[in-house]
Structure 1
């Protein structure tokens, strides 16, 4: 029987399958990462098993992660969820735990902030969300929670964004709001 103390590790088969899927997506969408080479990205991923586990969590929940750039200072590759619509495995969640706990009834099973933390990823900021939208049209039928400034959050609100009418829109809702077409998109630095 396997020891569960290394939960955040993939089996060799899972690792191989994930790298195959992400490599195919990388090669199919070169416009998202001009000038970057897959071999270097793969070497970074293979050297960091916990980040590989987080990338797998992004994939497992429907995020279709892809490289969107490289931090020139740190050399880290930056992955965003690039699924056309908000990730299916992360929908119907409140913004954060406080929002979830404030719901009187029909409480969803989770919230975006805790889910992202458990996956080892960061929820996209509004700026990152707008960067993503320059690479294609995302969330044309769905929406995604985005990192909310503390002053808005203190007043009970949370921000979400989507793409309609050829534009990115950022709106507000109560943090306790939960919709079947709203999830969150994340980023991972490797």
Structure 2
């Protein structure tokens, strides 16, 4: 019998499961302005029915993303979670944009990249539009910045985009995709 990625399940222990639900409920209730028309019981029922999504939320929490519900897609029947930490999640900083960028670095390579980290966590990087939606819910990334999904035409030319909030405005910038900084990470989204 081989042991590889296909044989390792992404499951939480009962203790982790209970702790995470308690934490998510407390955050949900503390930040009702993010989802005033939603009820926790419905969110919890959806999470209980999707343990793989709960595992992804655990990964978001473990890297200090502080995931919270920011909306509901009635058409698809899905709750939308974003990383709502005040600054770009600490456990996801000092990374370049994607694997191609990481492999292009000759020296001083970062440990990881945003695209692969997000995929391993079962989440997606926020788009620029989603990042702007998040900023309507509060003031985020006042000292840090976050990679966002980069359009293919920009990435093809070697660039990637990131966002932050300065001077009470949301800014979108560009950088070489291989760049990385201690204050730049990424924020994710998850649909449940």
TM-score (normalised: structure 2): 0.96
Per-residue Cα deviation, 1:13-49 (whole angstroms, up to 9, x for no partner)? 0000000111100000000001100000000001101
RMSD: 1.1
Displacement after TM superposition at 1:160 (Å):
0.3
2:68 is matched with which residue: 57, 66, 69? 66
Displacement after TM superposition at 1:7 (Å):
2.9
Where does residue 27 of structure 1 map in the other structure?
29
Where does residue 89 of structure 1 map in the other structure?
91
2:173 is matched with which residue: 158, 166, 171? 171
Displacement after TM superposition at 1:6 (Å):
4.3
TM-score (normalised: structure 1): 0.97
Unaligned runs of 5+ in 1: none
Matches within 5 A, 1:1-190: 5-190=7-192
Unaligned runs of 5+ in 2: none
Cα distance between partner residues in 2 of 1:36 and 1:101: 43
Per-residue Cα deviation, 1:96-116 (whole angstroms, up to 9, x for no partner)? 001101111110110000000
Aligned with 1:179: secondary structure?
A: coil
